Amino acid sequence: MKYEMVAGFETHIELGTKTKIFCGCTTEFGGEPNTHCCPVCIGLPGTLPKLNKQVVKYAIMAGLATNCKIANVSKMDRKNYCYPDLPKAYQISQYDMPLCEGGYVQLSNGRKIRLTRIHIEEDAGKLIHERGDTYVDYNRGGVPLIEIVSEPDIRSVDEAREYVEKLQQVMRYIGISDCKMQEGSMRCDVNISVRPVGSEEFGTRTEIKNMNSITYIAKAMEYEFERQVDLIESGGKVIQETLRYDDATNTTSPMRGKEDAHDYRYFREPDLVTISVTDEEIEEIRSSLPELPESKRERYVTELGIPETDAQLLTKYRKISEFFDEACKDVKNPKTVANFIIGQIFRTLVTESDKEEFNIKITPAQLSELVKILESGKIRNNLAKSALDKMLESGKNATEYISESDMAGLDDNALAELCKQAVESNPNAVADFKGGKEKALKSLVGFVMKNSRGKADPTAAEAKIKEIIG
């Protein structure tokens, strides 16, 4: 029997506010343990929370960017559970009246992964286990989160990977989080079950907690899918439980039984007022959103004539797309700008993190100036590439490396002399060309281009060489 994967995600994203959700403590990553804390975020008796307005705005931005309906009225609730990383013995979250509902993330195969909700809540502290002891660092406690809950619409590991990557990309684009999974600012709980292909009934699900790597999410889902299938086919039953993933052994193992909502004894948070957002405020936030990557990609392809694969590379990170947009102003062919960015500039950026930061020495205006000189016909492509390499090292303008004589071009007599030298200096290439090897002509043209410092017209050089060879 063939089985189908059914998966949904609960994705926690730390919001990039300067202070925590209910107090004035910093949200800065790291620091000495328990130094980014105050009586509010460690839950001392008598303290009162005060909701950070920026958290609400960021959550609305996330909802609008993922096609959600924003609630005009929502509230905060207490989610009760006792665990050392939660000093109050409850988490302030949202239950039956979340800020954002509905929405979807569309995948490249056309499937829409529906979103149940996006709600705001506080993060818990961090447990550190060392040599049989457990330590608690509350620096992370009270950092604002949004939780994005999807419907069980994901049917493969590839769809899961794309879903997480798209969420990460969109949240970075709108500027509400850096989504650095390695620092825990984006974490996923993966709910997964299996069912026979063609069945409409869901199987029993398990939840793999706190995944902070797209690679490990894929491996964990592959393992858990196979484990559940093997269990069912051997006559066993899948138990609803919470699992942890061990990347060293590539296995999942039980943490605890899976709680239902009633186990958390949700009730309204009595120390916080109702959240009220007007339609006018929602539209104002909507108008402040940048152009999203999906829209940019489509515009690059349809309006600028950029190939789909290049458009994906240019829109992967917001800083790159903004640089490209600026550099394209007043140039005739945006594809030339794209080629320089994807080719030479990307070669100087070794890692994906380098590309995301996009700290290069030249400005969009400097690249635009170089492209305009190239488009004027005053220089050839290889001279432009050489100039760009030097610009990226120094941060200087193109004109520092392209002289007036470079832009003067070659007259017919100078071109003819160089072509004659090419023929005389490369007898083997001439013989090969006469013998029918067309590639030999390219090496002769290359001789001319090199010795003219890129000023020669390669088409004219090719014609002249053929004429000399006869």
The b-or-e profile of 440-468 (16+ CB within 10 A means b, else e) is bbebbbbbbbeebbbbbbbebbbebbeee
Q: Which of 462 and 69 is assigned the larger pLDDT?
A: 69
351-371 tens-digit pLDDT: 988 999 999 999 999 999 999
To the nearest whole percent, how much of the chain has pLDDT over 90? 75
175 Cβ contact list (under 8 Å, min separation 6)? 16, 290, 318
Per-residue pLDDT at 428:
87
Per-residue pLDDT at 405:
61
Predicted confidence (pLDDT) at residue 87 exceeds the cutoff of 60: yes
Give all domains of the chain, ordered by start, each with its CATH number.
3-284 (no CATH), 291-408 (no CATH), 412-469 (1.10.10.410)
| Beta-bridge mates of residue 355 | none
Per-residue pLDDT at 318:
94
Per-residue pLDDT at 427:
87
Predicted confidence (pLDDT) at residue 226 exceeds the cutoff of 90: yes
Q: Which of 199 and 443 is assigned the larger pLDDT?
A: 199
Confidence of residue 260 (pLDDT cuts 50, 70, 90): low
Predicted confidence (pLDDT) at residue 261 exceeds the cutoff of 60: no
Give the pLDDT mean for 196-210: 94
pTM of the model: 0.85
26-83 tens-digit pLDDT: 999 888 999 999 999 998 999 999 999 999 999 999 999 999 999 999 999 999 988 8
Per-residue pLDDT at 59:
98
Per-residue pLDDT at 364:
97
End-to-end C-alpha distance for the chain, whole angstroms? 72
Per-residue pLDDT at 429:
85
Predicted confidence (pLDDT) at residue 457 exceeds the cutoff of 90: no
Task: Determine the Cα–Cα distance for residues 67 and 239; give it in Å rounded to an integer.
Answer: 34
337 token code pair? 């700008």
Amino acid at 153: D
Task: Determine the Cα–Cα distance for residues 65 and 118; give it in Å rounded to an integer.
Answer: 11
Predicted confidence (pLDDT) at residue 303 exceeds the cutoff of 90: yes
341 token code pair? 């960015």
Confidence of residue 406 (pLDDT cuts 50, 70, 90): low
Confidence of residue 183 (pLDDT cuts 50, 70, 90): confident
- 3-state per-residue secondary structure call for the chain: CCEEEEEEEEEEEECCCCECCCCCCECCCCCCCCCCCCCCCCCCCCCCCCCCHHHHHHHHHHHHHCCCEECCEECCEEEECCCCCCCCCEEEECCCCCCEECCEEECCCCCEEEEEEEEEEECCCEEEEECCEEEEECCCCCCEEEEEEECCCECCHHHHHHHHHHHHHHHHHHCCCCCCHHHCCEEEEEEEEEEECCCCCCCCCEEEEEECCHHHHHHHHHHHHHHHHHHHHCCCCCCCEEEEEECCCCEEEEEEECCCHHHHCCEECCCCCCEECCHHHHHHHHHHCCCCHHHHHHHHHHCCCCCHHHHHHHHCCHHHHHHHHHHCCCCCCHHHHHHHHHHHHHHCCCCHHHHHHCCCCCCHHHHHHHHHHHHCCCCCHHHHHHHHHHHHHHCCCHHHCCCHHHHHCCCHHHHHHHHHHHHHHCHHHHHHHHCCCCHHHHHHHHHHHHHCCCCCCHHHHHHHHHHHHC
Rg (CA), the chain: 30
Give the pLDDT mean for 288-316: 96
Per-residue pLDDT at 445:
87
125-173 tens-digit pLDDT: 999 988 889 999 999 999 999 999 999 999 999 999 999 999 999 999 9
Task: Determine the Cα–Cα distance for residues 6 and 253; give it in Å rounded to an integer.
Answer: 19
Per-residue pLDDT at 377:
78
Give the pLDDT mean for 250-259: 79
To the nearest whole percent, how much of the chain has pLDDT over 70? 97
Residues in the chain: 470
Per-residue pLDDT at 418:
86
Task: Determine the Cα–Cα distance for residues 465 and 157; give it in Å rounded to an integer.
Answer: 56
421-443 tens-digit pLDDT: 988 888 888 888 877 788 888 88
Confidence of residue 256 (pLDDT cuts 50, 70, 90): low
Per-residue pLDDT at 290:
95
Arithmetic mean of pLDDT over the chain: 92
Per-residue pLDDT at 434:
79
